[in-house]
């Protein structure tokens, strides 16, 4: 396969799971109508809520819960691959579910899942503190999955600050790196685009980064700017302000030319 058409969906998710999923379903369908074969939803696409609410909505994956069922049903209805960028999956610790990115195929079945490894324990510049580890169990494995013959690496949000994860995905054959996120407004305005482009350039890979945007419950604000970046670091497509989507065609022949021109992978020494 020489091309793959991808879309990033940008949401402003709130506390109502049914309403968030209805918005996501409409945008996935619209992206599919433009020819998207892989659609990536942002982190917390199903709900932006308190830790108590997240625990309440944690599901088994695979499973028949409303969020996992939505992903499978939507992928099957549209005949595409869908990545649900981050939602609560039950763990052995009932108080700390995983933050899981799940890939579903056109038959509605789970293809792969990745549990967020790097958890956001940060005091951001506006004075707000985040302690994701208090309510989330970290994963421990890098995950690469097959989408129509192309290797796709999975990650979630804060992972983007850890280049060693993406180098591991690229070494495992990933041509496409997915980064669903809910980047804070304060960090996003300075770092989001830089980090997405850096992960693309250093791995000579396509980056498909879907983000939350706007104001959410409990005073949380996210940056948006969902984007698709090519292996040279150029932004192929970017979502506008608000809920919506952006689409781009990934050209793997072009990627091969970039990798041949500057063969970084063969020059590694450490």
Exactly one of 78, 116, 196, 225 is catalytic; name it.
Answer: 116
Longest dimension (CA), the chain: 51
Q: Is 151 a catalytic residue?
A: no
Exactly one of 43, 59, 78, 132 is catalytic; name it.
Answer: 43
Structure tokens at 10: 């940008």
Exactly one of 89, 113, 132, 157 is catalytic; name it.
Answer: 157
Q: Is 116 a catalytic residue?
A: yes
Report strand pairing: 235-238 vs 227-229.
Answer: antiparallel
Do the beta carbons of residue 144 and residue 152 sit within 8 Å? yes
Classify 212 as helix, strand or coil: strand
d(C-alpha 247, C-alpha 1), whole Å: 18
Q: Is 6 a catalytic residue?
A: no
Neighbours of 186 (CB within 10 A): 15
Nearest alpha-carbon partner for 192 in 201, 204, 203, 181: 181
Residues annotated as catalytic are 43, 116, 157
């Amino acid at each position: 396969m020489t091309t793959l058409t991808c879309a990033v969906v940008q949401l402003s998710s709130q506390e109502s799971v049914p309403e968030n999923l209805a918005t996501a379903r409409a945008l996935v369908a619209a992206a599919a109508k433009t020819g998207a074969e892989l659609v990536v939803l942002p982190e917390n696409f199903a709900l932006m809520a308190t830790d108590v609410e997240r625990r309440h909505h944690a599901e088994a994956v695979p499973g028949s819960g409303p969020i996992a069922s939505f992903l499978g049903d939507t992928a099957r209805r549209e005949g595409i691959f869908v990545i649900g960028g981050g939602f609560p999956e039950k763990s052995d610790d009932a108080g700390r579910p995983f933050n899981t990115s799940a890939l579903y195929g056109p038959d509605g079945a789970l293809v792969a899942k990745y549990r967020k490894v790097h958890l956001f324990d940060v005091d951001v510049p506006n004075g707000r503190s985040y302690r994701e580890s208090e309510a989330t169990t970290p994963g421990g494995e890098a995950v690469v999955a097959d989408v129509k013959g192309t290797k796709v690496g999975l990650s979630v949000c804060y992972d983007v600050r850890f280049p060693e994860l993406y180098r591991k995905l690229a070494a495992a054959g990933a041509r496409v790196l997915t980064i669903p996120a809910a980047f804070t407004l304060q960090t996003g305005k300075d770092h989001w685009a830089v980090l997405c482009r850096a992960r693309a350039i250093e791995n000579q890979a396509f980056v498909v980064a879907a983000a939350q945007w706007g104001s959410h419950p409990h005073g949380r604000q996210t940056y948006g700017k969902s984007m698709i970046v090519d292996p040279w670091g150029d932004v192929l497509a970017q979502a506008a302000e608000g809920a919506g989507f952006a689409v781009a065609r990934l050209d793997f022949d072009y990627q091969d030319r970039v990798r041949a021109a500057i063969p970084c992978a063969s020059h590694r020494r450490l």
